[in-house]
Amino acid sequence: MKRGDINQYLDIHKMPSHIAIIMDGNGRWAQERGLPRVSGHKAGVNALKEIIIACSDLNIKVLSLYAFSTENWKRPKEEVNALMNLLVSSLKKEIDKLNENNIKIRVIGEKEGLPEKVQKEVIKAEERTKNNTGLILNIALNYGGRKEIIHSVKEVCKKVINNELTLDDIDENIFSQMLYTNGLPDPDLIIRPSGELRLSNFLLWQSAYSEFWFTPVYWPDFKKEHLIQAIIDYQKRNRRFGSIQTGVGE
């Protein structure tokens, strides 16, 4: 199929509002080419550029990206440093273009745990794009779903201690408001490349009713065509939310 043709198979009335991607397989992509793992991460950033623009063109409201997990600190120091440097340099290089495309950057995760230069760049990018009204690019950095839930529990407890909430006030809605993702819809579609079939601590609370799409393709080889295919497959699913016979987006 020629590039571009595939778009016509999309139903614009059943588009997912929020797509989340676990960008995985950079290391294996590099390894297969006899390259250092960091080359895979660099190739991963290139793949990402195409996907961000595609989501923006498709009028997707939110694109969440798993960029660095709370567990990724277990990797060799050199790789962690290279990833942090890549983050800073990519943000610096791409921020003008992202801003021109009306994209709003938001970062979820424990920002305080990131190196200072990363924190600085992240805050700058959020500040610069805060009034943009297009695609929300939600980057999970030093993010762990369990840590996020604990964070939310603590925020709720604080409010109870300060008499701002009673125990009876606590419900799913209040709890969701204390998550990093406050104000964002839950992901409709979660995509994981690289052949792994797991969440790896990503958006645990928010993924309760997400649809999953997996591919063996490594993230650096992930193209717009894969994204479109994932959305086409998603549109064929029957999202029941525990009820009977409702369709996608209903």
Q: Point out which residues bind ligand IPE (CB under 6 A).
A: 22-28, 66-69, 72, 83, 194, 196, 198, 200
Closest Cα to residue 172, out of 142, 206, 197?
206
Q: Is 199 annotated as a binding residue?
A: yes
Give CA angle at 68 (65, 72), nearest 5°.
145
**What region, left, alpha or beta, does residue 214 occupy, with left being phi > 0 and alpha being psi -120 to 50 degrees?**
beta
Q: Is 25 annotated as a binding residue?
A: yes
By CB under 5 A, is residue 24 in contact with Mg ion? Answer: yes
68 interacts with, out of ligand IPE, Mg ion, none, CB within 5 to 8 A per kind = ligand IPE
CB of 201 to Mg ion, least distance (A): 12
CB of 9 to ligand IPE, least distance (A): 28
Cβ closer to Mg ion: 16 or 40? Answer: 40
CB of 196 to Mg ion, least distance (A): 7
Cβ closer to ligand IPE: 23 or 47? Answer: 23
Cβ closer to ligand IPE: 181 or 235? Answer: 181
The set of residues, in sequence order, having a beta carbon less than 8 Å from that of 208 and lying 6+ positions away, is 186
**Strand 136-143 with 104-108, pairing:** parallel
Cβ closer to ligand IPE: 12 or 197? Answer: 197
SS3 (DSSP) at 11? coil
The set of residues, in sequence order, having a beta carbon less than 8 Å from that of 44 and lying 6+ positions away, is 23, 26, 29, 219, 220
Please report, as residue ranges, which positions from 138 to 167 form the binding site for Mg ion (by CB under 5 A).
none
Q: Which stretch binds Mg ion (CB under 5 A): 19-27, 73-81, 102-110, 146-154?
A: 19-27
Closest Cα to residue 73, out of 201, 217, 207?
201
26 interacts with, out of Mg ion, ligand IPE, none, CB within 5 to 8 A per kind = ligand IPE
Residues with a known catalytic role: 24, 72
67 interacts with, out of Mg ion, ligand IPE, none, CB within 5 to 8 A per kind = ligand IPE
Instruction: Determine contact, residues 107/122, Cβ cutoff 8 Å.
Output: yes
Q: How far apart are CA 216 and CA 194, in angstroms?
A: 5
List phi, psi (to 5°) of 21.
Answer: -125, 130
- Which residues does the annotation place in the binding site for substrate? 25-29, 37, 41, 69-71, 73, 75, 192, 198-200
- Which residues does the annotation place in the binding site for Mg(2+)? 24, 211
